[in-house]
Each structure stands twice: as structure tokens, then as C-alpha cells.
Structure 1
């Protein structure tokens, strides 16, 4: 009856489910037909027919029941025959009312009989074309009534004009065959398209997972040697250097900062594209945040002979509720862009407040080289800059603006740009935020001096000998003692016999990783309450979440920021009585 007809277990099971869902509808329609037949014939046979329909439908429900319960089962040949016979008997019984109406219902009865059988043919053709045996079993009885009744009347009653009804029935069934073929072909095309889409989706998910794994591995593998390079440069800067040597160290540190920024940009972009960027809302003192950004960029602007100024409108709230880290990241990128492309003049940061829709509006205007109109539309695309020579002249990859715009959109805002060649550019960030009457006081940072960590005993686990050496060189000048171990198992063993003021824990280590070691420390023993600080090259959000679940005090990433490491350790040890110092053991 149609191309692409299924004979698999899925086709049989699907029809079993459809017949079960439509059982009440078939019985209700049968009751309506019975009432109509009684109205046309005034006989009792319609009531008898309705009872026969109910009985046949019960046996149909019973026959298809095992397939509904176990749709994944392939029906045996005998079971398929049983289902086909059951369907044929049901159709014979259901459409038998048409024979009664053809004989006893008059002209109206004949018309109703043809309509009823035509509807039945349409129904079974559309719902059973997936399985050929069931389709044939249902169509043949309907066809016998549909064509047989007018032909039989033409022969018995010698009414040749009734043959025209049979011819009309043949035409109807021909159109029905064409419609079913088209429906079957369309269904198969949709199924193929859906299967292809599912396959492409699965492939995309595999590729996305592989990309995430690749980025995580690359991030770790790059951060590990960068930690040695940047930390060694920081340590070298502490020594006595002449002017030329100090300049060389500064170049090392500047290049390291660029590499870390690039790595973070790539990771952020991958998180945004994967839809895994998570926002955190908290109160932010707006003026303090702008002041800290100004302190960071003003020396760099002045080094270029550029003045950096900040103007805050009087109606701007004292504090707002937003994601402080992402807000800082967007402003950092805008200021970095302005400082990079402005060689003289002024960089102005203007902050305004739209009370009508609760939007913070921050504009960063510069008097730099400007952007050509044909290039302006593409500056927010990934890896795009104003012209091909920009990277060679100014450096960078063009990721900062792309990330900033996407962050603004994720946060419900927008980032736009206006520019004129030779006159400068204006980048405007419009961000919906919640105004806070009074900002919550930020926790007081611990000031680290030579005595802040004096006498403290720190357990540090890291499988790289260079990293362990760097930790010693960075922390021992503060007067603390380090017990250095190579993996999590050694850290757990050391923590069983000695109390520590704090624990520095790497993540990826042989024998036992840092997460497992931290869980064992937290489970009990002398150091179950000792602050654990994650110090790892695994810097992605999934790693941070894993450490949070393990119950660490803080999460620090490599390359190590010496000041931040010392401050974090001092804050973790604050309020704890120093444990007895022991000689440092370097593994």
C-alpha cells in the first residue's frame, strides 16, 4: 500500500500503542453510528452490532497487550498472524453496519454506509501503513464492503447504475494509495532527517566534549611551565639587578601576563560558545571597582603620554548588584583596548545611570587612531581587529572585545561602538543591574609583611620538583616552614602524624590526586579542620566546582601570583595558633 513500510518490532509496537490510545474513540464513534443506523432503520440490529463491536474491541485490546508491555520485543511469526487476523475480524465487525444500512436504511442509509467505510479506509491507511501485514488485514475487509455492496446490488437488483458507485470507490482508493505513498515517503524522509540530526547532534556533543577536554589539558600543560617561567622572573626581580637586567625581567613578566591573558580569553570564549558561562550576582561598590581599574591602567596610559580620567554622574548608585568579576573583565578589556590604540590625548571613562529601566551605562572614549566604517561592524567578532597589521603593530588576538560583547549579552545588556578614523572611538556598555542603597563592607584583606607567616608550618603537595622549589623560594622568606611532598598519598600520610597551619594542594598528581587527598583529610584526623588551598594549573570552572565540593578554603591557579599566595595563606592562618615548627623537608 505504501513505500518505506516498516516491518520491524518498532512498527508493530507503535500501532499497538496507537490502537490502545484510540480505543475509547472507536467505541464512542461506534455508539454514534449505532444511533444513526437505528434512526434510519428503526430496527434492533444496530444495538446487536454495537455489542459485537465492544466484544471485538476487547479481543483486540487483549491481543495487542503483550506488545504494548514489551515494545522492544520482535513479534514471532505466529504472533504477527494472530494480530493480523484480529485486525481483520475487527474491521469486518466494525464495517458490517454498512451492509445493514445499505439494505435497510434507504438511500440515506446507502450514502451513510459509503461514508462510514470510506472513513474507515482512510483511518486504517494512515495509521497502519507502517506495517504491511496489518495494513492488508484492515484494508481488504473495508474494500469488500466498499466495492462489494454496490456491485452486488447492481447484479442482484439489476441496477447497473450502481456500478458507477463502485467505480467511484475505485477512484477514491486510487487517490488513497497515492496519498498513503506520499505520507509514507514523507514520514521516511522525516525519520531519516531526524536520525541524521540526532547523529550530527551526538557528533557535535562528542566534539564539544573533546574540545573541552583538549582545552583543559592544554590549559594545564601550558600553565605548568608558565608557572616556572613567571615565578622564576618574580624571584629574579627580588635579587640585586642592574638597570638593564631589571628591564629584561620586566619584559619576561609582561610577556607572561600577555600569555596568561590570552589563555584565559580562549577558555572564556570556549565556555561562552558551549553555553557553560556561569554568572554570580553579588553587591559591588561601583566607585571602588572603578578606582581599582584606574590604579591599574593609569600608569600604563601615562607611559604613553595619555591622560586617563573617570567621570561618575551624581545619580549613579553607590553600589549595584551584578557579577563583579565579569563587570571588571569587560571594563578591563575596554580600557586595555583604549590604552593600546591611543598614543596621545585622553581616555575618558563616563558612568551614568538610567533610573527608568535600571541600567548602568559606562562609556570608554579615546582619542586614538579610530576605526574605519567598513571595519567597525566586525570588531566584535572573534579574532578580529581593525586591520591586518594591527596584530603585528599592537599585539593581541582580538578576543577581548568579542568576549566583552558576549558577556554583556549574557548579562542582559549590550556593548556598542562608534568611531571615526583619526578622531578616536567610543565603546558604550549598557548593563541592567540592581541598585543597592548601601554596599556590604568587603572583608578586610590581610596585610602580609615579613612577620605575617612567621612560624607557620605549611604542607605543600605538588608532583613537579620545579613547582616545589618555587614554593620554597616564594614562602620561606616570610618565615614559614614547608613540608613538601610529591603526591596526595604522601600528603595524607604526613597529615596523620603532624598538625599543619595550612595545606597547599595540587590537583593532578600520581598515586593519589589532590581532590581525593583533600577528601581524606576532611574525613578525620589531626588536620580535618586545617585550611586547604587548591594551587593548581587546572583552571576551568569544572575544576573550581570540584574543589568547592571537596571543601577547600580557597582556589588559586598557576602561574602563581606571589602576593596573592602569601595573602591567601595569611588569611587562612589568621586566628589559628601557630603549630610547632619543624625542619622543612624537601622531597
Structure 2
């Protein structure tokens, strides 16, 4: 139709123009077709992409719904309260636990503020504002007790910040966990702890009371026995008095064991590290145990290796206590042979080792494993045969471990035991190994029946450079020195230039020097310094005796090696340097003992019976009247603590007058209380006369230094 209308016009055109026109129409139509085809393909691709995106959205939506369902299941099954609040504090979400806890429906809770009721007196801790959640770590944790349908309950609450894409706070999620059971447990534990601490305080007070009530009469018993033994007694009376003394000392040992064990159990062991000399400490312990050892017919000796340092840093009192326990046990459980104490030192590791060997009953492996348990002895039968509490080794090991050391045992049943004390101790003064080889070039022959003493003497002689021959190995070998036990050598064996030194036990009779010429004697157990001094000196026999000289009748004191005096040693007459000592003691017997001890030391006692009387005496006297005060702690009217504080408060006397506590208490707190009250020193009951005399001398020396 179109072409029909145009035909008349075409007929008017030239043929070339018509052809161009038709060509133009054809090209335009083709281009249009190409355009529409391309457009169709683009739309198809876009539709395809939309289908893919739609599928992704469907997957994401499904995952989101699944995640939401998991979250809701988690929240629904969670035992904790979970809630959300907007910035106005209104609830936007609560879980079922919330509804069950506060008996609310969800529709009642949503949109309302969360303001739980608090029990009476409870301080609100929940956040009033959310400012703190705007800063890292974007969470706050606190405990709060609130009212629930089950009554007041403890919850631990944790608020978390929920932030939008720009990091701004938009909501707060809170999780609350019921911790009432935990709080109840904590309260029970706190109550139990308070009860335990209260019981511990009561135990400590009981120990202090027991210490005072028992040690006070023990002080009187032991003190009077000492003075009684210094009077003129018949042999039977002296024997009875010594039996009383040993029984009292045994009782005191048991008391000390029980009190020490209780202190250790309470964690109240106090250690004092000071420089001390190990050699005299070990020798003194052996000398202390010697009387009981010799009474049983067994020997005791000690040996300190030459490279052991002269001075060490440690608690010598506690080390002495350990050794007394170990050596005492060794003597107790040994009926034949003897006890030998050796001291060694690993200088590199600075570790001291003290071995106590015995030839006693020995132990099985099972007994070795159990011997350090409290109240344990090797066998139940021993509890009947051997006295003791069964606490000694327990105390010994715990004391050693408190000093970062230990006590171990090796033993063979029926052969003997070896207890080893190992302690890490700092060296203060090293040994002088090459300084004392005075016997170099000399040959010594030993005529000693006791293997223990022979072992000790041989080691000491070899340390000083001597060649030592045992009796069985002598075989006519030339020698210029003999060390022999009394009664083991005859006159004809001492010929020419031979030097003879005798070993004697306390109580033995020394031979007449005309019948048996000897250069000197040594009292067992032998001290290293005494042996060196006696065997290297050149004086007469009268100058070469050991630490204890012979008596006029040749007898030595059976306990100490000192002379037996049949008369009471007179008290020293007060000299120009004598101290005027004020003694405050309410116990009549202890007051008498203290007065006698002060007089025996050469000083002047002035007695009062209470702290109040001591205070009044000080108020009524001129400054300088008294040089020292011995103050008992527990007295009527006014105790020693208060009396000391009042005396220190007197003008012009603060710190000038030494006040020494006389205490039967052994707890560290008591010592601290003495210091806090203003006391300068203390003596523990039972008071040893030598300790009291040393205390007086100590403070007299300080007074002289101050005056100079």
C-alpha cells in the first residue's frame, strides 16, 4: 500500500535516485534489526543476572532464617537470662528464662524498662546509663542480687554494646547468670575460713598458756635441782637428784616436742639467719649427749672435714635442735657400738651435710619410708621399750625443709642407720685447710678399743699431717706418739721420747703420773681444737689438760668432765661494775631462783612481785638507780607488757634502761609483742644460769661502751 502511494512519485524520479532511496531503506532496516537483536540479548543477560541474584537472595534469606532459628533455639534453651534494651532502657527482646524468672509474659515485658526489685539493703549496681559501653572493651560485668519468684537470688550480669554500621551504640544486650549456689558456697568457705582462723588463734593462745603454765614450774624444778647438785650430798642422794634432773629434762623435751610440732603445724616457725661456727656446735651436741651415751656403755664422737667453712650463715639454734634430735635418737636406739657424727660440705653448691651414723637396731625399707610420719616409731614395740612422743623426726624434717634443706635416712635392719641433714648455707668464713698441719712428720699409734673414737681421732691426726697406725697394724713400726684409752696401755710401753696422751671418759680415774708418765689427757668426746692444742704443745702435763682439769682425787664429773665439788660454789661478791637488777616475778620459787642466779653472777638483785610494783619502784627511784630489769610477762595487777610500756613512758627513761623479758612462751608473736612493748631482749624459761649470766654480761658491756 505504501509503495502504491509512492509509485506515482517514483515515476517522477530518475531511476538512479529511486535506486539510492531503496538502498537507504534497506540499510536502515538492517541496522534496526541489528539494534533490536543486540538489545534483546542484553535484556536476556540482565534477566539471567537477576535470576542469579534472586537465587543468591533466596539462599541468603534461607541462611539468615536458619541462623535466626538457631539463635532463637540457643537463646530459648539457654539457662541464662538474655535481654536487649534500647538506649532509653526499654526492653526490645527477652528470652523465656527472663519470663520464667520474673513471672512475666513476653508482651508484658517488651517495651517496658527493666527495673528489678532489690532486697532490702542491697546497693544497686546495674547501669543507669550506657556511656561506659561506648568505649572499649564495650562490655561491663558486675554482681547484683535481685528479687525473683524464687526469692532473692545472686546474678552475675554482663552488658554488651551492640553497634550500628557506623560504630555507634544502638542497643545493649545483657546476659544474667544465676550464681546463688556459688555465692552460698563462697559464704560457707568464708565462714569455714573464719572458723579455722579462730581455731588457729585459739590453738596459739592454748600453746602460749600451756607453755607458760608448764614451763614456769619446770623452771623451778630444773633450777633447784641444779643448785641442789652443787651442795654437799651423799652418793645416794646425788644419784637420786640426778635421776630427778634427767626425768625433768626428759619431760621438758617431750613438752618442747609437742609445742614445736604445734607451732610447725600452725605455720609459725620463725627462722633467724646469723653467722655461726659449725664445729663447736656439733661438738657441743655430742658433749650434751655423751653422759647418756656413756651410761649405756656406747661411745660417741664427731669429725668435721677440714674443708668445711669456719663460719656459715644460718639458724644455729634450729640446726642444734635438729642435731640434738638426730643424735639423741641414735643414742636411744643403740645398745652396742656407738654414734658417729660427720660434717661435710659441698663448697661449690654451698650445701652442708651432717651425717649421724649409729650401730643400733636399724630399720627396714618400710620403716624408713614411715619414720618421718608424726607419732610413728619403727615398731609399736619400741613405744614400750623406748620413751618418746614419736614427733622428733617429724619436727626435724619439717624444720630442715623450712630452711630449704631435708633429712634423709639409709638403714639396714640389725646393723644401724645413717640420718643425713642437708642444708644450703652461705659461706661466711672459708676453711683454712693448709694452716694447721703441726704434726707433719710424726707417727702416731692408736690404742683405742672404741671404733667410733678411733675413727674420729685418726681422721683428726691425719688432718694435722700425722701418719696414723692402728694397734693391729703397728707391728713394731717406729712411732713417736701414742694416743691411748685409760687402762689400755702399760708402763713398759712408754719408753724413750714417746709422747703419751690418754683418752678418758667423765667419771674415770686418771692414773698416777709416776706410774704412767703421760703428757696430757683428752676427755671424750674429743674436741678437734683440744686435740690439736694438746698434741702440739710443749708444756708440762699440768698445762696440757683438756677442757676440764682433773680433781684432787683424780675423778671427773660424770656429766661434764668438770671437778665434783662437795660444797656449793659461793656467789661472786659484787664488784664496782656490778649491776643493780630489778626483778619482777610473782612466782615465789622462780623469784628465788632468779635472785640466786643474779647473785651467783656477781650482781645485786632487787625483787618485786608484780608489774605494778615494778612501775611504782621506778617512779619512786632516782634515774640510774637500776641498770637492768628482768620482767616476767604474766603477773597479777599489771602484766609485764603494760608495765614495760608504762616504764618506757616515764620521762628520761625511754630506751635507756634495758628490760629483759622472762618468758615461758615460745611463739614468735610473743617475742614480737615483747619488742612492741619496748623490751630489749628475752630469756626463755626454764632459764639456764649460764644464759642469765651471759645476758647480764652482754648488757653490762653495752653500758660500758655507751659510757665510753
Q: Which TM-score band applies after superposition, normalised by the shorter structure?
A: 0.5 to 0.7
Counterparts of 1:132-151 in structure 2 under 5 Å? 135-136=101-102, 140=106
Matched, 1:228 2:220: yes
Gaps of 5+ in 1: 1-101, 146-179, 440-447, 578-587
Instruction: Quote the Cα distance in structure 2 between the aligned partners of 1:545 and 1:376.
Output: 39
**Which of 627, 630, 638 is the matching residue for 1:512?**
638
Matched, 1:503 2:621: no
Shift of 1:576: 3.9
**Which of 662, 671, 685 is the matching residue for 1:535?**
662
The residue aligned with 1:561 is 688
Matched, 1:485 2:611: no
Q: Say how many residue pairs are matched.
A: 431
Using a 3 Å threshold, how does the CA distance of structure 1 residues 324 and 375 change in structure 2: closer, same or farther? same
Shift of 1:423: 0.8
- Contact 1:284–1:320 (CA under 8 A) maintained in structure 2: yes
Using a 3 Å threshold, how does the CA distance of structure 1 residues 520 and 429 change in structure 2: closer, same or farther? same
Gaps of 5+ in 2: 1-56, 84-94, 112-154, 156-175, 432-569
Other structure's SS at 2:380 match: coil
Which structure has more relative contact order (CA 8 Å, sep 6+)? It is 1
The residue aligned with 2:450 is none
Matched, 1:254 2:377: no
- Contact 1:497–1:526 (CA under 8 A) maintained in structure 2: no
Counterparts of 1:267-306 in structure 2 under 5 Å? 267-306=259-298
The residue aligned with 2:6 is none
Shift of 1:138: 8.9
Using a 3 Å threshold, how does the CA distance of structure 1 residues 422 and 274 change in structure 2: closer, same or farther? same
Other structure's SS at 2:275 match: strand
The residue aligned with 2:572 is 450
The residue aligned with 1:43 is none
Shift of 1:205: 2.3
Counterparts of 1:142-541 in structure 2 under 5 Å? 190-438=182-430, 450-451=572-573, 455-498=578-621, 499-525=625-651, 527-528=653-654, 529-541=656-668
Instruction: Quote the Cα distance in structure 2 between the aligned partners of 1:315 and 1:576.
Output: 39
Instruction: With the length of structure 2 as denominator, give the TM-score of the two structures.
Output: 0.55
Instruction: Quote the Cα distance in structure 2 between the aligned partners of 1:214 and 1:131.
Output: 54
Matched, 1:551 2:678: yes
Greater strand percent: which structure?
Answer: 2
Shift of 1:414: 1.7
The residue aligned with 1:93 is none
Shift of 1:302: 3.0
- Contact 1:536–1:558 (CA under 8 A) maintained in structure 2: yes
Instruction: Quote the Cα distance in structure 1 between the aligned partners of 2:247 and 2:321.
Output: 19
Using a 3 Å threshold, how does the CA distance of structure 1 residues 386 and 533 change in structure 2: closer, same or farther? same
Using a 3 Å threshold, how does the CA distance of structure 1 residues 550 and 134 change in structure 2: closer, same or farther? farther
Greater helix percent: which structure?
Answer: 1
- Contact 2:359–2:416 (CA under 8 A) maintained in structure 1: yes
Instruction: Quote the Cα distance in structure 1 between the aligned partners of 2:665 and 2:416.
Output: 40
Instruction: With the length of structure 1 as denominator, give the TM-score of the two structures.
Output: 0.66
Cα deviation digits, residues 62-90 of structure 1 (max 9, x gap): xxxxxxxxxxxxxxxxxxxxxxxxxxxxx
Q: Which has the larger radius of gyration?
A: 2
Shift of 1:245: 1.2
The residue aligned with 1:79 is none
Instruction: Quote the Cα distance in structure 2 between the aligned partners of 1:438 and 1:452.
Output: 42
Matched, 1:570 2:697: yes
Cα deviation digits, residues 525-561 of structure 1 (max 9, x gap): 4644121111122232211111122332321122221
Instruction: Quote the Cα distance in structure 1 between the aligned partners of 2:612 and 2:416.
Output: 58
Shift of 1:132: 6.2
Instruction: Quote the Cα distance in structure 2 between the aligned partners of 1:291 and 1:555.
Output: 26
Instruction: Quote the Cα distance in structure 2 between the aligned partners of 1:335 and 1:525.
Output: 52
